[in-house]
Amino acid sequence: MEFVSHPLIKADTIEKREYQENLASKALKGNTLVVMPTALGKTIVAALVMAEILKEGKKVLFLAPTKPLVNQHSNSLKTIMKIDDEDIAVMTGEVEYGDREDIFKKRIVCATPQTIEHEVAKGRLDLSEIGLLVVDESHRSVKSYAYVDVAQKYMAQAKHPLVLALTASPSAENLKEICETLSIKNIEIRSETDADVLPYVHKKEYENVFVEFPREFEIVRTDLQSVYDDCFAKLKEMHFIHTNIFRKSDLVKLQNDVIRKKIFAAIPYTTTMLKIGYAIEILETQGIFALYNYFEKMKSESTRTNKQIMKDERIQSAFENTKKLYAAGKGHPKLDKLKEIIKMEFEKNPEAKAIVFSHYRESAQVITNVLQEYKAVRFVGQAKTGHDIGMNQARQAKILQDFRDGKYRILVATSVGEEGLDIPSVDMVIFYEPVASEIRKIQREGRTGRKRAGKVFVLITRKTKDETYYWMGHYKEKKMKRVLDDMKEELKAGAGQTKLEL
């Protein structure tokens, strides 16, 4: 194996890969957005660019959206960069104000954007001497997120600004805004099928696994749907809805409008539709256990709307039937199918590890319980949700280390496992439910096939929201790739550049 040779890169630390060096070379020519799967080494590309900037005597600011990711990048750079560890500093909200001035003197600062935004606003940080701004998970560079303000201040203050933006999955809808925010002049795209990447990737197998919606659940769904449809009809009568195709995003927009305009007659109907629509989605994609907990939560939160909803005879019927199914231990058929997949794959490979992604914390707990014999552990975020206090960083780090060490073989993760964190590569990723977001879809899939061949399973309940979300994610990913290519060509044309080789 051949390694990168550079005066500021430690020997035998970075495998020499032509596509990474090409990307770094192009990134040094102007503000660049690099789009490629996580496993292909976006951080390595950043390190190669940083080495050249540091060689010129300039400083580097490396932004990442979370504290664990900031610390992860700092540790990685200390392993790679041939500079004193003391010259690589971390800046997050946990750093005391008295210590911050010294940190900004370091050659590399890894930071959360909110901290940098605050320091710049207070006049304690001058960005003029920063020779490179690295923006990790740059698909977040939209609207009021701190990346936006920091990037604008950097471009205005820096003597010789250079931005390197990294992401695996920019949203097609937000791509133009991302490029404008970060003053991007060039887009570089790499995928696992590109000729210069193929020698370094491993095969992934994809399988959609279908289950039928249980007949026992149908009586509950019928009652819920009846309430939803009545509210829909009422809003049509009031001329707030003029079509039969009405998405959740349309409903949220309508609710915001009627609240803002104080149209009190319409507010209860929009609120009821959102709550009941959510209940239907939970029933279809997660099952009776999740729906029962949702009903209990509605009862405990005695708002006027909740009280009115729970008075409806159809909701009372749905709740009673849900309680009976809950008491009988009637789980979603996905649970049996999931256990079947794990059993089969683990028998094929006794050393295999897996990540099961679930959108809901409660479902993650149910899944963990069902897979306990296979050494499963739940992995969730820090935020408190209802009675769930979440997991602090120390607990998250301990679970990930235990997972690496083999104490656990299955990580049952919510969205916290999708982005950024240094989660070990696994043999398979299982979607407990499809996701409509192309960003989340790509991030989940990227957790397997890194160091060896991997498998991706997607559990889909027929004739439910699962199918809708699956196709939404599929088409959004295709659109993202198309828009990326178009934007790349648009930027080239605007700069009068000749076509770059990919």
34-91 per-position pLDDT tens digit: 999 877 899 999 999 999 999 999 999 999 999 889 999 999 999 999 999 999 999 9
β-partners of residue 189 are: 35
Question: Domain check: are 424 and 342 in the same one?
Answer: yes
Q: Which residues contact 223 (CB under 8 A, 6 or more apart)?
A: 314, 315, 317, 318, 321
* Model pLDDT, residue 425: 76
Question: Domain check: are 336 and 387 in the same one?
Answer: yes
Report yes or no: 270 and 258 within 8 Å, Cβ to Cβ: yes
Q: Is the pLDDT of residue 376 over 50?
A: yes
Range of the domain at 154: 18-198
pLDDT band at 495 (very low <50, low <70, confident <90, very high): low
Residue 491 lies in a domain: no
Q: Report the 10 Å Cβ neighbour count for 97.
A: 9
Report yes or no: 472 and 436 within 8 Å, Cβ to Cβ: yes
Half-sphere exposure of 488 (CA within 13 A, CB side): 19
Question: Domain check: are 230 and 175 in the same one?
Answer: no
Average pLDDT, integer, range 219-241:
97
Question: Domain check: are 189 and 148 in the same one?
Answer: yes
Q: How many domains does the chain have?
A: 3
375-413: b (≥16 Cβ within 10 Å) or e: ebbbbbbeeeeeeeeebeeeebeebbeebeeeebbbbbb
Instruction: Residue 133: give its domain's CATH number.
Output: 3.40.50.300
In the chain, what is the straight-line distance between the N-terminal and C-terminal CA atoms, in Å? 24
Highest mean pLDDT, choosing among 101-105, 367-371, 397-401: 367-371
Q: Is 337 helix (H, G, I), strand (E, B) or coil?
A: helix
Last residue of a domain, one of 270, 294, 327: 327
* Model pLDDT, residue 500: 33
Residue 134 Cα to chain centre, angstroms: 19
CA 306 to each of CA 179, 226, 267: distance values in angstroms, whole numbers, following the listed order: 43, 17, 13
In this prediction the pTM is 0.85
Instruction: Residue 288: give its domain's CATH number.
Output: 1.20.1320.20
Structure tokens at 402: 């235990």
Helix 313-327 × helix 288-300 angle, to 10°: 130
Closest by CA position to 437, among listed 415, 416, 452, 455: 415
β-partners of residue 454 are: 204
20-50: b (≥16 Cβ within 10 Å) or e: bebbbebbeebbbbbbbbbbbbbbbbbbbbb
* Pairwise CA distance, residues 451 & 201, whole Å: 8
Residue 4 lies in a domain: no
Q: Is the pLDDT of residue 502 over 60?
A: no
Q: Above pLDDT 90, what percent of the chain?
A: 75
Q: Which residues contact 360 (CB under 8 A, 6 or more apart)?
A: 282, 286, 290, 414
Question: Domain check: are 296 and 173 in the same one?
Answer: no
Report yes or no: 168 and 37 within 8 Å, Cβ to Cβ: yes
Residue 501 lies in a domain: no
Closest by CA position to 167, among listed 134, 201, 139, 133: 139
Residue 453 Rama label (left phi>0; alpha psi -120 to 50; beta): beta
Question: Domain check: are 263 and 361 in the same one?
Answer: no
Residue 310 lies in a domain: yes
* Model pLDDT, residue 302: 78
Average pLDDT, integer, range 286-291:
95
Report yes or no: 86 and 106 within 8 Å, Cβ to Cβ: yes
Residue 492 lies in a domain: no
Residue 484 lies in a domain: no
Last residue of a domain, one of 164, 198, 232: 198
Mean pLDDT across the chain: 92
Question: Domain check: are 416 and 392 in the same one?
Answer: yes
Question: Domain check: are 151 and 182 in the same one?
Answer: yes
* Model pLDDT, residue 168: 87
Q: Is the pLDDT of residue 375 over 80?
A: yes
* Model pLDDT, residue 501: 34
* Model pLDDT, residue 499: 36
Q: Is 211 helix (H, G, I), strand (E, B) or coil?
A: strand
Last residue of a domain, one of 298, 327, 356: 327
Closest by CA position to 434, among listed 366, 343, 334, 339: 334
Question: Domain check: are 296 and 440 in the same one?
Answer: no
Residue 12 lies in a domain: no
Q: Is 161 helix (H, G, I), strand (E, B) or coil?
A: coil
Q: 380-383: long-range contacts (C-beta < 8 A, 24 or more apart)? A: 380/413, 380/414, 380/416, 381/414, 381/415, 381/416
Closest by CA position to 107, among listed 34, 180, 58, 65: 58
Q: Is the pLDDT of residue 390 over 50?
A: yes
Residue 3 lies in a domain: no
Task: Count helices and strands (H / E) in the chain.
Answer: 18, 13
Question: Domain check: are 162 and 248 in the same one?
Answer: no
Question: Domain check: are 313 and 361 in the same one?
Answer: no
Q: Report the 10 Å Cβ neighbour count for 227.
A: 22
Q: Above pLDDT 70, what percent of the chain?
A: 97
Question: Domain check: are 311 and 433 in the same one?
Answer: no
pLDDT band at 267 (very low <50, low <70, confident <90, very high): very high
β-partners of residue 63 are: 111, 135
CA 291 to each of CA 157, 282, 496: distance values in angstroms, whole numbers, following the listed order: 53, 6, 57
90-119 per-position pLDDT tens digit: 999 888 888 888 888 999 999 999 999 999
* Pairwise CA distance, residues 72 & 80, whole Å: 12
* Pairwise CA distance, residues 236 & 245, whole Å: 12
Helix 304-311 × helix 267-285 angle, to 10°: 70
* Pairwise CA distance, residues 44 & 31, whole Å: 17
Highest mean pLDDT, choosing among 170-174, 249-253, 381-385, 438-442: 249-253
* Pairwise CA distance, residues 485 & 502, whole Å: 11
pLDDT band at 421 (very low <50, low <70, confident <90, very high): low
Report yes or no: 92 and 163 within 8 Å, Cβ to Cβ: no
Half-sphere exposure of 342 (CA within 13 A, CB side): 26
pLDDT band at 498 (very low <50, low <70, confident <90, very high): very low
* Pairwise CA distance, residues 110 & 131, whole Å: 14
* Model pLDDT, residue 420: 60
pLDDT band at 496 (very low <50, low <70, confident <90, very high): very low
